[in-house]
Structure 1
Amino acid sequence: MQKSSPGGGRPMPSRPSHDLGMPGQRRSFTRHWISGLAGLAFLAVCLSIGLTLADEPAPVRGVVLAAEGKPAEGARVRWQGGAVAVSTDAEGAFTLHGVGRRVTAWKQGYFIAGQAATRSALQLRLRPLPDQDNLDYEWVDPRPDRRHEDRCGNCHSTIHDEWAASAHARSAGNRRFLNLYEGSDWHGRPNVGWNLLAEHPLGAGVCTACHAPTASERGVREDIRKVAGVDALGVHCDFCHKIAEASSERLGLSHGRFGYDLLRPTQGQLFFGPLDDVDRNEDTFAPLYKESRYCAACHEGTIFGVPVYTTYSEWLDSPARREGKHCQSCHMTPTGTLTNIAPGKGGIPRDPLTLSSHAMPGATPEMLRRAVNLKVHCDELLGEAQVKVEVAAGDVGHRVPTGFIDRQLILSIEGVGQTGRQVEATSGPLLSPLAGLGENRAGLFFAKQLEDLDGQAPVPFWKPCRIRADTRLKPGEPAEASWTFPAEGLAGVRIRLIYRRFHAEVQQAKAWPDDAICIIDQVVAVPPNHRWGR
């Protein structure tokens, strides 16, 4: 049966019983259904945002005041132990987001201030540093002792132990150093070999400036053998953390303590350091502690007219400096295991990558292997074995070797016969006799070489002398050389890279134990086109 249209026109077809209504009604229902879903989704988003905003605490606001209650503009404010810092505005005001238990503030020329966090406005007052150095200050012994609560090692045990095993802790009493200073040998016998006191007595007081920088008594400064107490501990904690600034005006000419501006308090205590949120009312932050300039006064020195230490100026000219790396990047690299510098003594958990190691390694086997790259190419041609070697200063911010002027790096090349006998090279550079490996030994000698005015070497820097050659490796400038060996009966070529701290001749005269470090010792076979590298 058909129904008539409302307007009386053509009859309309019948609809199945499950039809929900007119076409217009269906479209209306669909629109309402989609709108409802969209509304629910929007409501869910709003609720999510609302919950997120509700979970995020309100920021902490406050003001930092300096001397006489004046606003401290440009003060650095952070959650203690946190990574993000903000600066105060011209009114000393700050807004600090995030969460934490304590807020700290620091500004140049002031102690670090701190206050427990509250939701009410904070007011942090900065206390100015002393305006002059106290020359009568008594240095603090770093060694742990519960009878003396101010000892560094009582609270900072890990850092103390790292320092105690370092060269800095032994700088005043190093046995080889004293042998050169007083002319003795390893067994204490006098008048053996090089002797600063006998050969340049007016220069006897130079050494204490770096090796015992806190020695101040007249007579002790002129003879480092007389240092005692804290002064005998060399470059110790309290000295390093009293350095307010490092001068660069007379770099290399003002050594050790004379190259630093110290600030020692008359009352209470004062420590400079690399953390800007240590608020014990006796600490302040110094950016210097993360810069190579901090090391320069002792690691750059022209002594008696001779450039004995040039590590800092080498760094100034290095790719490492251009990449933003400093001495501390390699020599105070965080171990990744230290998370609290004073556990149980008021220290707080910190990111281990922000806490520097105080082991301060120098010429250790690990550091030397990082510092030098070696490539070897061997070929056999027309009955001869040809060996080409490239040596390069690798991941390092100075020349290799560096430090004291007598340091040496020796590349030794030896042919090894099938019966084990030594096969001499028929061409290629030979080692200097200063290397101490005998005559006619193939190889390269990397060192700053001094000679006396008659051309004789080795010679101590305190005698009249001149630089014969400086063949040390420079970052970015590899050294290459080739040698030829008779191929018949040749089993391989032994490549050794050896580091020495002193001339072999001096070491033998002083009866010092051999402390040479063999960085690489490898026998390379010589079939055609054999290559080996590290």
Structure 2
Amino acid sequence: MYYGRDMDGNQSLVTRYGPGNAIWKTLLVPQPPDPSQPYYGPGYLLDFPGIPIKCTACHIPGASIQGDVDPETVKDADRFGVHCDFCHKVADVRIDPVTRLPFPRFPGVQSMDVRRPFPDDPKRFQLFFGTFDDDNVPGEDTRLPLLEESRYCAPCHYGVFWSTVVYNSYGEWLESPYSDPESGKAKTCQECHMVSPTVWKGNNLKNVAPGKGGIDRDPSTIHSHLTTVDKDLLQDALTVTVAAKKEGGNVVLKVTLTNDKTGHHVPTDSPLRHLILLVDARDSRGNRLKQSGGPVLPGWCGVGDPAQGYYAGLPGKAYAKLLKEKWTNVFPAAAYWRHTTLVSDNRIAAFESDTTTYSFAAPEEGYIYIKVRLLYRRAYKTLMDQKKWDAPDIVMAEKSMLATSR
């Protein structure tokens, strides 16, 4: 997304600029891609050549302490992105005392106090912050309660572009009962995303560096670091219930999604992420039943063969925060660093539910096979095709049931 390339290294042409419409006719604004030329998806540097963006403040923070950088210039450990040494050198994060959110102009590392080594004084120890209060390197390590607070996560989980709030999992957590110590439901980000104990080779980890200076600790104090998109975490995010009944010549399904296990909206952060609820009803011969009522999936779920993940027009519902590009009207917007407007947001907030109802023409005899699947998709199908991203959908939940046509 940064360079406008696909997985084969092909790059889209630099963005064209031209006069806007109406009151904007004296302003040069981005134009849609030239349809006569190959297109491999959007890219920030195609829109703003030579101008580094603040993406690196979160994605390559160690290299961005002094300012934004071009990712291709990054060297050494910083090439790994958000690495251990960086996270354990963050001494504090700055939050707006009024909004309780990071300052929009200072994302990621720009809102952090990072304590780097002293290259000109080899006698000075490096400083490592952590959660252990029995550290075994007292000259360098120290316990920092901040690392156990959700506030630590805030700078990289709140992002504003051109006054549009693009991602905000930290703010969503703030607005939920999970952030209220008096709610009886309080949980920090770390309690869900960095759970303890850490399981290593089937056993609870009690020593992070055996034989190399590590000491045995209570496994409940050693949290995991699997903070990427985790299948088990996704499958424990929501509760899905399905009910079926016969009404006249139809079978009616009621599907309810309840966000009873997640401290922010589902899905959250990147607006490319979305959920796809697929509702499938077939007769005893395996033929799809004709839908007689209820929503169908929109075009941006992919037009084509359902066996290949193109689900537009099938019974179901998609859940997403949908943006539209202001100047080109591209929808849904993937290049959220451009000027965008919020079109809709039907994601499921903490402790909220969404219910949809579907009806299908019931066969005269035999059984009805019903399958409901909830999928997590990382990006819009069109964008994934342009970029040649191979990121299969993750099944968050699946329910099957058998009904009679009588």
- CA distance, structure 2, for counterparts of residue 265 and residue 455 of structure 1: 48
| CA distance in 2 between partners of 1:434 and 1:505 (Å) | 7
CA distance in 2, matches of 1:297, 1:356: 21
- Asked if the contact 1:370/1:394 (under 8 Å) is kept, the reply is no
The C-alpha deviation readout for 1:217-257, integer Å capped at 9, x for no partner, is 98x94311221112212111211111111111261512111
AA aligned to 1:227 is V
Which residue matches 2:295? 429
Q: Secondary structure at the residue paired with 2:278?
A: strand
Q: 1:438 to 1:239 in 2, by over 3 A?
A: closer
Deviations 1:267-286 (A, max 9, x none): 22211111222152111221
Take 1:318 and 1:528, find their aligned partners in 2: how far apart are those partners? 43
Q: 1:423 is paired with a residue of what secondary structure? A: coil
CA distance in 2, matches of 1:291, 1:425: 48
Q: Which amino acid aligns with 2:109?
A: R
Cα shift at 1:345:
2.6
- Structure 2 counterpart of 1:231, from 40, 54, 78: 78
Q: Distance in 2 between matches of 1:217 and 1:350?
A: 33
Displacement over 6 Å in runs of 4+: none
Structure 1, unmatched stretches of 5+, are 1-179, 530-534
Deviation of 1:201 after TM superposition, in Å, equals: 3.8
2:226 equivalent to 1:352: no
Normalised by the length of structure 2, the TM-score is 0.80
Larger deviation, residues 449-458 vs 256-265 = 449-458
Cα drift, residue 494 of structure 1: 2.4
Pair 1:270 & 2:127 matched:
yes
Structure with a larger share of its residues in helix: 1
The answer (yes or no) to whether the contact 2:260–2:352 under 8 Å persists in 1 is no
Structure 1 residues 217-228: aligned runs within 5 Å? 221-228=68-75
**Given the alignment of the two structures, is residue 311 of structure 1 paired with residue 186 of structure 2, yes or no?**
no
Is 1:288 the counterpart of 2:146? The answer is: yes
The equivalences for 1:59-98 within 5 A come to: none
- The SS at the match of 2:63 is coil
Task: Tell me by how many angstroms 1:265 deviates.
Answer: 4.3
Per-residue deviation, residues 139-180 of structure 1 (Å, max 9, x unmatched): xxxxxxxxxxxxxxxxxxxxxxxxxxxxxxxxxxxxxxxxx1
Measure the CA separation in 2 of the matches of 1:268 and 1:196: 39
* Distance of aligned partners of 1:385 and 1:301 in 2 relative to their CA distance in 1, 3 Å threshold: same
CA–CA separation in structure 2 for the residues paired with 1:203 and 1:442: 44
User: SS of the residue aligned with 2:85?
Assistant: helix
The answer to whether the 8 A contact 1:378-1:527 is kept is: no
Identity of aligned residues (%): 35
Match status 1:483 vs 2:354: no
Q: Give the match for residue 440 of structure 1.
A: 313
Structure 2 counterpart of 1:458: 332
Deviation of residue 205 (structure 1)? Answer: 2.5
1:329 aligns with 2:191: yes
Unaligned runs of 5+ in 2: 13-39, 119-123, 303-309
Of the candidates 356, 381, 384, which is equivalent to residue 504 of structure 1? 381
Any residues of structure 2 matched to 1:105-504 within 5 Å, and which? 180-191=1-12, 192-201=40-49, 204-216=52-64, 221-249=68-96, 251=102, 253=104, 254-266=106-118, 267-280=124-137, 281-322=139-180, 323-334=185-196, 335=198, 337-360=204-227, 362-436=228-302, 437-453=310-326, 455-459=329-333, 460-488=335-363, 491-504=368-381
SS in 2 for 1:499: strand
- Distance (Å, rounded) in 2 between the aligned partners of 1:227 and 1:426: 56
CA RMSD of aligned residues (A): 2.2
Contact 1:204–1:223 (CA under 8 A) maintained in structure 2: yes
- CA shift, 1:359, in A, is 2.1
Return the alpha-carbon distance in structure 2 between the equivalents of residues 237 and 456 of structure 1.
38
- Equivalent residues, number: 348
Kindly indicate whether the alpha-carbon contact (under 8 Å) linking 1:409 and 1:500 is maintained by their aligned counterparts in 2: yes
Larger RCO: Structure 1 or Structure 2 (Cα < 8 Å, ≥ 6 residues apart)? 2
Specify the alignment match of 1:138 in structure 2: none
**TM-score if structure 1 supplies the norm length?**
0.62
CA distance in 2, matches of 1:373, 1:201: 45
